[in-house]
């Protein structure tokens, strides 16, 4: 079987295409695989209470993770490698073979959206920790 390497234009495709189309492109940037799915019976009604609650929970978790990244990521204030906590999160991401640092942050986020990273091999977890409160925006 031939191996196909998608061109840059195709690599950037993600989401549905065409008006009223049930076709959906999904691009995995880490593996460069493009998948095409067809939604057989897409739901067109209003969101249920459970769906709305889940969306709000996702927004709050995303806001907390984004706030943590903004404080700890590499910058002129934090240096070219970021804070010690950011480096620890990158180390955990690599050890667990995860795609993004957000997956590490979600694993270590409690119900109050606090992110607490601990490293068994080192007691040095000094750095800035951020607790983000969910916003309705």
The pLDDT value recorded for residue 16 is: 73
Q: Compute φ and ψ for 35, nearest 5 degrees.
A: -120, 145
Q: Are 14 and 27 in contact (CB under 8 A)?
A: yes
- Looking at the fold, whether 31 and 91 belong to one and the same domain comes out as no
The mean predicted confidence, pLDDT, of the chain is: 80
**pTM to 2 decimal places:** 0.61
- Tokens 């983000």 map to which residue? 132
- Looking at the fold, whether 62 and 89 belong to one and the same domain comes out as yes
Distance of alpha carbon 108 from alpha carbon 23, whole angstroms: 35
Kindly state the average pLDDT of the residues 34-47: 81
Domain hosting residue 117, numbered range? 47-137
* Weakest-pLDDT range from 1-15, 22-36, 123-137: 123-137
The pLDDT value recorded for residue 123 is: 41
- Looking at the fold, whether 84 and 108 belong to one and the same domain comes out as yes
| Of 102 and 39, the one with more pLDDT | 102
Kindly state the average pLDDT of the residues 93-115: 92
The pLDDT value recorded for residue 126 is: 42
Position 10 pLDDT exceeds 80: no
- Looking at the fold, whether 71 and 34 belong to one and the same domain comes out as no
Distance of alpha carbon 53 from alpha carbon 34, whole angstroms: 31
The pLDDT value recorded for residue 42 is: 74
- Looking at the fold, whether 32 and 52 belong to one and the same domain comes out as no
Counted domains in the chain: 2
State in Å, rounded, how far the first CA of the chain is from the last one.
Answer: 48
- Looking at the fold, whether 76 and 57 belong to one and the same domain comes out as yes
For the chain, percent of residues with pLDDT exceeding 70: 74
- Looking at the fold, whether 111 and 123 belong to one and the same domain comes out as yes
- Looking at the fold, whether 34 and 54 belong to one and the same domain comes out as no
Position 77 pLDDT exceeds 80: yes
- Looking at the fold, whether 10 and 68 belong to one and the same domain comes out as no
Q: Are 27 and 8 in contact (CB under 8 A)?
A: no
Position 21 pLDDT exceeds 70: yes
């Amino acid at each position: 079987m031939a191996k196909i390497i998608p061109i840059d234009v195709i690599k950037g495709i993600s989401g549905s295409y065409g008006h009223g189309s049930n076709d959906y492109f999904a691009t995995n940037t880490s593996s460069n695989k493009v998948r095409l799915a067809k939604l057989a019976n897409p739901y067109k009604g209003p969101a249920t209470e459970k769906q709305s609650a889940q969306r709000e929970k996702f927004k709050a978790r995303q806001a907390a993770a984004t706030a943590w990244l903004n404080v700890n990521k590499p910058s002129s204030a934090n240096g070219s490698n970021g804070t010690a906590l950011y480096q620890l999160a990158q180390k955990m991401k690599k050890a667990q073979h995860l795609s993004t640092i957000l997956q590490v942050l979600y694993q270590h986020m409690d119900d109050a959206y606090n992110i607490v990273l601990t490293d068994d091999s080192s007691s040095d977890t000094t750095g800035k920790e951020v607790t983000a409160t969910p916003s309705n925006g």
